[in-house]
Structure 1
Amino acid sequence: MIEECLVVEFRVTGDDCPLAAATRETETTVDANPPQLRQDGNVLLQCSASASDADALADVLDTDDRLRYLHAARVDERVNFRCLSKHPCVVQRLTDAGFMVESLRYDEGEERYTGAVVGRDVLEGVMAAAGETVGVTLQRIYPLGSEDDQAVAERWPFTTAQEEAMRTAYDLGYFEVPRRVDAGEVADALGVSKSAFLERLRRGQAAVFDQLFG
């Protein structure tokens, strides 16, 4: 029996799959289930987005000729999408090599995969598969502790843009008392508008507070 199990996180850029393309065009974020490959070569996709982003996302997905049978259903403040895709997903290449995907996030065209591999030999095969596809970068790798109840470690539920906004604000002293910089200065450092920075900051803080107190 192989006792070593490793948690692995990948970052993917440059992918043109339907979900990556749609989130890039609409500047939205979706969380997705691992894609299911059918024997006929089609892929079953399931993902969810915030209700505020759902209309724009649905319009783009509905016009993508690589997708069929798009269905959307609202559940509380989220909208769940299901469809059939004719386009292969990058994560399937890694799965075929032994990557056991646990979570997928598409954030404005950038993808984040978290999962596990059993043993170093499998990891080598997964890394070889990653090297043969579009911009796949290994972000983190660490042993899965026997005391862990979940297959992968918990992650803060904010997007890459929200994390960057909060980290930059922290580094520049926005949260200090008194503040060393104002919102406009943080926005300039990020290269975005003041309103965009404040929106990302509020959403990121809300996600953290929900994780802590919800």
Structure 2
Amino acid sequence: MIDECLVVEFSVTGDDCPLAEATRETGATIDARPPQLRHDDYALLRFSAGAEADELADALDADERIRYLHVSRTDSRTNFRCLSKHPCVVHELTDAGFMAETLQYREGTERYTGAVVGHDVLQGVLSAAAETVGVSLERVFPLGSEDDEAVAQRWDVTPAQEVALRTAMEMGYFSVPRGATAAAVADELGISKSAFLERLRRGQATLFAQVFG
């Protein structure tokens, strides 16, 4: 039995996949679930966006690599489902043992967050990353008990929302007086201020709904 699990973050630049190109073209930020690869090499994609969602939908609808695009809206988010014929970079890392949790696309750059079990598997994942154009390691750290709860989504918030809430708390955003501004927390997360505030509101709404019924 392996006792150690590691959280790993990768960034991907220069990818010409439909989602990366669409965010580069429209300025939208996409939060995606890990793609599911079918036997016919089509990938099932599920993702959401806030601002620029209409432009994003138009860009993806015009992309010949995208099939069966479905768009639905809930509150301030727009949800997308589709098939993509373009190979996903994350599959290269998954084949080596990377367990993707969240994927984000922003201005053509991708950020993958997930886990690997043990240092031996980590070395294999890093070797696969080194052979894949544009993939670089951003962070790696041991998975703690509090992270296990995040992966299990004990409170039913998304990993991205939980990271936003946790970072805001650690930086003193909720303190009186505030220890950090929304812009400062957004910079720490590497996202826009509007994206941070949206994650914060949605995460708080989910938590409050569960706490107060």
Pick the TM interval, shorter chain.
Answer: 0.7 to 0.9
Q: Report matched runs for 1:1-214 at 5 Å.
A: 1-50=1-50, 52-147=51-146, 148-151=148-151, 154-156=162-164, 166-167=183-184, 200-201=192-193, 203=194, 206-207=197-198, 210=201, 214=205
In structure 2, do the counterparts of structure 1 residues 33 and 3 end up closer, same or farther at CA, with 3 Å as the change threshold?
same
SS at match of 1:127: helix
SS at match of 2:151: coil
Amino acid at match of 1:5: C
Deviations 1:39-92 (A, max 9, x none): 111111111011x41110011001111111111011111111111111001111
SS at match of 2:126: helix
Deviation at 1:166, TM superposition (A): 3.1
In structure 2, do the counterparts of structure 1 residues 78 and 137 end up closer, same or farther at CA, with 3 Å as the change threshold?
same
CA distance, structure 2, for counterparts of residue 169 and residue 101 of structure 1 = 23
CA distance, structure 1, for counterparts of residue 129 and residue 113 of structure 2 = 14
Does the 8 Å CA contact 1:166/1:204 hold for their aligned counterparts? no
Does the 8 Å CA contact 2:72/2:78 hold for their aligned counterparts? yes
CA distance, structure 1, for counterparts of residue 119 and residue 137 of structure 2 = 14
SS at match of 1:150: helix
Amino acid at match of 1:11: S
Amino acid at match of 1:28: A
Does the 8 Å CA contact 1:156/1:211 hold for their aligned counterparts? no
- TM normalised by structure 1 equals 0.75
Does the 8 Å CA contact 2:164/2:200 hold for their aligned counterparts? no
Deviations 1:136-173 (A, max 9, x none): 11111110113541228742289xxxxxx934999xxx
- TM normalised by structure 2 equals 0.75
CA RMSD, Structure 1 to Structure 2 (Å)? 2.6
Extract unaligned runs of 5+ from structure 1.
159-164, 171-199
Identity %: 61
SS at match of 2:55: helix
SS at match of 2:145: coil
CA distance, structure 1, for counterparts of residue 68 and residue 130 of structure 2 = 33
Larger-Rg structure: 1
Extract unaligned runs of 5+ from structure 2.
153-158, 168-181, 206-213
